[in-house]
Structure 1
């Protein structure tokens, strides 16, 4: 929480230090225009054209009003009024049609820009190293980007388009107003200054509010997931958690609403001050107009046109300054967005080096240390292990001993803080990380159960190639998943989830076999299996490990297990305790050594016997 508060303060300080300079305005506009142009250039051009058409129609309405009034006050009769009246009606219709079309075009363009931004954000989220996912601040930044910053690039462009339209309309209406009286134009323009001054403070308030609410919003989202998630639904009902979860949700939502109320009041005060200041200038402008009429400098028709022009111009000037506010308010969010996207740039720069070899004779970890971000203790402390080509190597140990952490480092998902991991004598940090991961397949205990057809649940093991139906079935057979999948209503085309129509759910053991099939389909030289038999019954577990070597087809396997009976056939067993390798050897050698492995093995055997099992089966 301290880290989150420090980041929140630093962001707000940075926001206060931002200046509304022309250089910053230019930078924001260039970045946003580039994104919008690449997302939908034809729609952008259409919007600009519609803005200019609407501006021209608006300026024309002022002159048409004056023409109508001249015709009414003149002696030309009804016929003289018809033409300017039709012109006024036509220009009004064009203005309304252009405004309506703008709304529809903007909606489509906004979605195109949003998709482009999602591509960038998701690229960062899937490309950065796993260390970022150990940091609460990374989730805070991701949440802010998802909830606000994604729409801001388009809002900058929208603000710019609004400014262009308002400026074009202001010039047109201003020319018409100058033709009535040059003195009125500067007064109307000055009327937008109070709004510009208050909008600067409003922009900062909005960004500061968003930053303050990041953590609260994440908590609300979390308690929403707990009450709506499929996996959580069973426990919520079994423990009667619904009222308690709703109260926790309300606590965070209530805090947000209290802060929102204060925020809205502050923005409202600023908005009122700006509008009152603008209204006072408008009153002064109208008083000047009355004075000019009283002096006889402006006729009745000119006065009518001037009133319309003043009202239109005041609105356009306000729109112009609101566009400036939109750009700078969005700019504060875009700075946060750019900081997040920079993480992806760094990740792409880090994905460099030599291509990893297609195979190896030996993988060695020597003196490996690792500590998770924010943790005070090391998860691994000077670990040394070795895997030879074609070997089956096992990691065993109690929970928290560092088995899965070591597997993640060997898989190239983390880098060690000290020590080295080498493939045939070369440190893996010399290889391009993504190419190294292509040579490794990992099935973690908490593997993903994709709500996709069975075929795709297996073929995701190698998505860089077209799905090979024969390989899918061979991988399923190697993992013992064939009978379960072929018995589904649509076979391999059946969606493995009831979240979607026609889907079916698998048992835990069946899912584990699908995950194993996924690893075999990848066909990588190193296979890492984290508790591959955790959801299997004893018979299925025995069948899996008795056929594991055949299924591997000469590939190297590192498997983690807390069941000591499953590791007896491994070529070598490493025993981890509190982040250190305390023993290594074959099953028989470790039993003969009568150390920690033998102690834990006997404890499991005794527990098995106590449950009514056959001691001989566990103790062999």
Structure 2
């Protein structure tokens, strides 16, 4: 498994543009082609606009001096107006198609990312670089695709614009036109370098603003507000925020002052070619080379040239900054995919033989030469200090990775248990969906009747509460859709109902599911699990031992190995690690 480290700030534009093109084609080929065609056709509106300016102003001049008939000029103006309306309709169609294409690309992109992330190997989430890249792709890459699409359109439409501008420019003095273009490009590059020098200051200000936003959010964040109020943190946090704001203010004022001075200087410098060309055009009109309307055309023409040039230049800058996000997207999409979880349900023993495992970014073995057997139907308690290897062992049992040494065998083969395993993790998901949907996710391959949902709620002691709600099992939970909030204990009971939703699961794994409960509530939780588990194999993981005395066997983990093994009474008699841990926690469960 490889990820990109020490990545450059700028990516490669051409591959990113090609990838954007492929995404657009895959999203909706016909709509994409139509959009590009409309963008190219709409450039004709610029030609019509320039010609209309010249025709109408020259016509007005000829009418004034009785060189032509009013009717003739009006007919021409009417024709130009009709053409302008047509191109306006083309632009409206272009905008409509653009919006639809954007939605199609969003759907295609997000579906591709979600589909990939749901199937990549677990190992990637244990690597800092991969985690960072995944976060960046989820938050930045779609926006980058949309910007790169507009860059492509800028490049494509620049071609007909160049033809249109050339048609009019070469009606002026050709050497002067060439000099104008060269001077415009040269001066723009000089001005660009001067303005770009402000980016370092801007990056510094952005750092301050991000931290300001963090401190501002503490008071309004649901998870931190209670502690914020209880510990009277306003003065302390406000001081932190004020210090950052003062730094940002100083840097921002320096940016604004420098930017304003440089911007006005840039405007003056960039207007020099324009002024010189307008003087030359006025001279050519004065000597009779052009009609008076050509002066107004030239004014619009030179402004359009600058606008098009700036659009292409901005597109090039976008390509440099945004293409790195497309490179990350391509990299994440190339991540290795885990094998699909087989639809297999087995009632079997589990045996780990000389299993060792090291996390991708660690030098220390999380598991070292671990060997253990678990009989089908056993209730196993795995205990030990944080970092002793408890969760790692269960992750391997669940088949999250096969990159370990040794063998985990189920019965007589090394195949994984597939969907035979159901689990509740320490930070189990609190899905902000309906009660029904929360339970259905325990087995997404079948449909549940209302009676089945209610039956599962009854088993976990939530039926009375849920059915008392106005929407019953269709009540939304959380804050996304005007839902209700459950207590931590109610969320845990709902997680158990989800566990029960897959009746074919033969192994339950519960990894610190009661970490947020008090010791006595923890005992009640485990009583419920014992009651509902039936003949299944159940593996409990915790560093709290109140439940362990009921287990058929206790495995004490230390430094990635099993240091002690036996029943509650047997381990107390050994006066070892377990006995010390239990003695230190006894008062939690006796008072």
* TM-score normalised by structure 2 residue count: 0.82
* Counterpart position of 1:386: 373
Contact persistence 2:457–2:494 (CA under 8 A)? yes
Task: Report the alpha carbon displacement of residue 575 of structure 1 after superposing the two structures with TM.
Answer: 1.1
**For residues 495 and 406 of structure 1, do their structure 2 counterparts lie closer, same or farther at Cα, with a shift above 3 Å needed?**
same
* 2:509 is the counterpart of 1:518: no
Q: 2:320 aligns with which of 324, 332, 350?
A: 332
* 2:55 is the counterpart of 1:67: yes
* 2:293 is the counterpart of 1:304: yes
Provide the C-alpha distance between the structure 2 equivalents of 1:586 and 1:191, rounded to a whole number of angstroms: 88
* 2:122 is the counterpart of 1:117: no
* Counterpart position of 1:86: 78
Higher relative contact order (CA 8 A, sep 6+): 2
Range moving further from structure 2, 194-203 or 511-520:
194-203
Provide the C-alpha distance between the structure 1 equivalents of 2:250 and 2:113, rounded to a whole number of angstroms: 31
* Counterpart position of 1:505: 485
Matches within 5 A, 1:601-620: 601-606=582-587, 608-609=589-590, 611=591
* 2:458 is the counterpart of 1:461: no
Q: 1:193 aligns with which of 185, 196, 204?
A: 185
**For residues 356 and 75 of structure 1, do their structure 2 counterparts lie closer, same or farther at Cα, with a shift above 3 Å needed?**
closer
* 2:230 is the counterpart of 1:241: no
* Counterpart position of 2:166: 174
Contact persistence 1:64–1:87 (CA under 8 A)? no
Provide the C-alpha distance between the structure 2 equivalents of 1:510 and 1:143, rounded to a whole number of angstroms: 31
Provide the C-alpha distance between the structure 2 equivalents of 1:203 and 1:359, rounded to a whole number of angstroms: 67
* 2:150 is the counterpart of 1:158: yes
Q: 2:221 aligns with which of 203, 217, 229?
A: 229
Task: Report the alpha carbon displacement of residue 395 of structure 1 after superposing the two structures with TM.
Answer: 0.6
Task: Report the alpha carbon displacement of residue 33 of structure 1 after superposing the two structures with TM.
Answer: 2.5
**For residues 346 and 152 of structure 1, do their structure 2 counterparts lie closer, same or farther at Cα, with a shift above 3 Å needed?**
closer
Deviation per CA, 1:410-429: give whole Å up to 9, x if none: 3234566544433336556x
Provide the C-alpha distance between the structure 1 equivalents of 2:587 and 2:40, rounded to a whole number of angstroms: 85
Provide the C-alpha distance between the structure 1 equivalents of 2:584 and 2:145, rounded to a whole number of angstroms: 61
Deviation per CA, 1:26-85: give whole Å up to 9, x if none: x44332233234445565455445434543232133333443415435522433332233
The answer for unaligned runs of 5 or more in structure 2 is none
The answer for unaligned runs of 5 or more in structure 1 is 1-5, 19-23, 612-620
RMSD: 4.2
Provide the C-alpha distance between the structure 2 equivalents of 1:136 and 1:206, rounded to a whole number of angstroms: 31
* Counterpart position of 1:595: 576
Contact persistence 2:344–2:418 (CA under 8 A)? no
* Counterpart position of 2:390: 403
**For residues 212 and 122 of structure 1, do their structure 2 counterparts lie closer, same or farther at Cα, with a shift above 3 Å needed?**
farther
**For residues 247 and 45 of structure 1, do their structure 2 counterparts lie closer, same or farther at Cα, with a shift above 3 Å needed?**
farther
Contact persistence 2:380–2:538 (CA under 8 A)? yes
* Counterpart position of 2:460: 479
Provide the C-alpha distance between the structure 2 equivalents of 1:441 and 1:93, rounded to a whole number of angstroms: 64
Contact persistence 1:367–1:383 (CA under 8 A)? yes
Matches within 5 A, 1:402-551: 402-413=389-400, 418-424=405-411, 426-427=413-414, 438-497=419-478, 500-501=481-482, 503-523=483-503, 524-533=505-514, 545=526, 548=529, 551=532
**For residues 161 and 583 of structure 1, do their structure 2 counterparts lie closer, same or farther at Cα, with a shift above 3 Å needed?**
same
